[in-house]
Structure 1
């Protein structure tokens, strides 16, 4: 299992509708794909999107990290000694977590292929299918209500609602408009993407609690570095609070857990640097009886598929945010995960189950 070659290539797929959060607006899903080939001809693939406002990475920096740093490090290495390889990968440069994740998932794709198992089974096989939410971008209340209604009609019964732009009253209006449109049988999760201060968050969440808007959880209400503020929100509200951008590494997770700064953690491969480190975060959370979500950036089915395999392997990951491929105008992959409405189905083929990467979207 000697690593013979590593190559990168850029892809881009337009979104059906602009994706708006408190951090950015996205109209095209761009990514750097990586293909790793072994001496016996088997190939593993991975993906890294440029998410400047979260990971700080661009397409150019991702390509440089993979081609200029990881490739010379990994060529000629024997994947049977993968613990050494993963450690070397993460020690080779700081940050650059999405670039690391792309290489990491390609290596795990190969490891699962060698074991002749789908990746989620190779990693633990806790679940055989998942149910994803669908994200409502932040817009005017009426537009968000219309979007939410359409997603429910499409079979999604869990909505992740983006907030955090404008005044607190604006966010309350958005949530009320959506509740009025979809009723109370639909689960609503909110994601402020760091858009509130700690006191604003407490005020907003308490008002939603008082008005019985029935919010399942609130994701990343405050700035990523404001762990004290995150703890303040968690301690002064009843609604479960989830840390997202505040947790990249195992050490970030350890700090959040020990401070009791959040009730839940969103583990993303692009923040953690891939499956190798994400497994450590999930295990740490499980040791403290903490449940987690796994989500993604705006990624194609390659990166989201790897994240879904990881999520399905762990018992304490019970929330899933894997709608990004459904927002795209096309699919670059033959194989990988499949969607049946809100359900995600895994292929029985080994690894990530990807048969072919197309030259263009269909």
Structure 2
């Protein structure tokens, strides 16, 4: 059996500006860099739990990571099999361990992580710009995003007066070039009447999608809203609350998938394939993670085969990072053909004492 070693390295990364949603405000991202080493090869994963996005708490994540560290004798294959069999209430921790093991495996096999996940993976996944809260949006942010080549610009709703949010959305829409559109996320801020009224006012605008419109994601209400909307509605955080997630029975057109909330790259890829087979759209997004998590999520987005813009342009929100993030040019990430996820920690990031 191959000798496998795991290390956990805590980190805290401040945000350049507050990340505001209807669920709260983030000022930093904190977690653990998970390092897996075997036969001289190293793989990394990121555990940055965010309960409001559907993950476990930091305490639960730490407990789960320690559980896995006690089982390194089972080797890479054994731990991957255990992750398949023992999924539970700590999806961010499980995703981090799996990512480290798959990154390690891809490096040993000389494959980019996306091709380990899916031989037909894309090489240049599209991404959306993340402009923050609609209530405070300035025209300059829209102009900069368009100049950088983004075709989909995402805004958060539910953080200010609805009338002000709609006014700024309309102003942003007036600045869009042909083929560009807005992606909106209400983060479960509204009741059904409010959502109905907002969708009616947005109907004539170039909207790509509206995510999580309802505070209580009732399927009948969501179905009525989707029937009334000329654009896609999507479920994201509320997917975690569905005991038996059957994409074919969802009342909306789109699923937004975060591997740290789903419980791993392979689980997310399987769910994405089921959703696409059922005629649903799929978008993969990050949790404003470090570069270790962002690289893996970008590889997963490419493996999904979805040509929609994914939510991966979040590195600029961090004041500092654990390594260089993927480069975005003209609204796309050019993934390299190098083995592994693409993540390399900056000097010193793995010199902290392991927990």
- Normalising by the residue count of structure 2, what TM-score does the alignment of the two structures yield? 0.89
Q: Which residue of 1 aligns with 2:9?
A: 9
Superposed, 1:148-167 pairs within 5 Å as 148-167=142-161
Q: Which residue of 2 aligns with 1:275?
A: 265
Please tell me whether the aligned partners of residues 173 and 206 of structure 2 are also in contact (alpha carbons under 8 angstroms).
no
Please tell me whether the aligned partners of residues 250 and 280 of structure 1 are also in contact (alpha carbons under 8 angstroms).
no
Q: Which residue of 2 aligns with 1:344?
A: 333
Q: Which residue of 2 aligns with 1:132?
A: 127
Superposed, 1:93-104 pairs within 5 Å as 94-104=88-98
Q: Which residue of 2 aligns with 1:75?
A: 72
Unaligned 5+ segments in structure 2 are: 350-355
Which residue among 292, 297, 305 is the counterpart of 2:282?
292
CA distance in 2, matches of 1:79, 1:251: 29
CA distance in 2, matches of 1:25, 1:184: 33
1:295/1:3 CA distance change after superposition, 3 Å:
farther
Q: Which residue of 1 aligns with 2:294?
A: 304
Once the 2 structures are TM-superposed, how far is the Cα of residue 167 of structure 1 from its aligned partner? 4.2
Superposed, 1:20-31 pairs within 5 Å as 20-31=20-31
Task: Tell me the secondary structure at the aligned position of residue 277 of structure 1.
Answer: helix
1:250/1:164 CA distance change after superposition, 3 Å:
closer
Once the 2 structures are TM-superposed, how far is the Cα of residue 354 of structure 1 from its aligned partner? 2.7
Q: Which residue of 2 aligns with 1:180?
A: 174
- Normalising by the residue count of structure 1, what TM-score does the alignment of the two structures yield? 0.87
Task: Tell me the secondary structure at the aligned position of residue 15 of structure 2.
Answer: strand
CA distance in 2, matches of 1:192, 1:333: 31
1:227/1:6 CA distance change after superposition, 3 Å:
farther
Across the aligned residues of Structure 1 and Structure 2, the Cα RMSD in angstroms comes to 2.4
Once the 2 structures are TM-superposed, how far is the Cα of residue 237 of structure 1 from its aligned partner? 2.1
1:65 aligns with 2:57: no
Unaligned 5+ segments in structure 1 are: none
Q: Which residue of 2 aligns with 1:236?
A: 228
Q: Across the two proteins, how many residue pairs are aligned to each other?
A: 348
1:220 aligns with 2:218: no
- CA-to-aligned-CA distance 1:204-263 (integer Å, 9 cap, x gap): 111211xx2121111111136534432332233222111111223895531x531x4110
Please tell me whether the aligned partners of residues 196 and 225 of structure 2 are also in contact (alpha carbons under 8 angstroms).
yes
Q: Which residue of 1 aligns with 2:46?
A: 47
Please tell me whether the aligned partners of residues 72 and 79 of structure 2 are also in contact (alpha carbons under 8 angstroms).
no
Q: Which residue of 1 aligns with 2:100?
A: 106
Higher normalized contact order (CA 8 Å, seq sep 6+, divided by chain length): 2
Q: Which residue of 1 aligns with 2:303?
A: 313
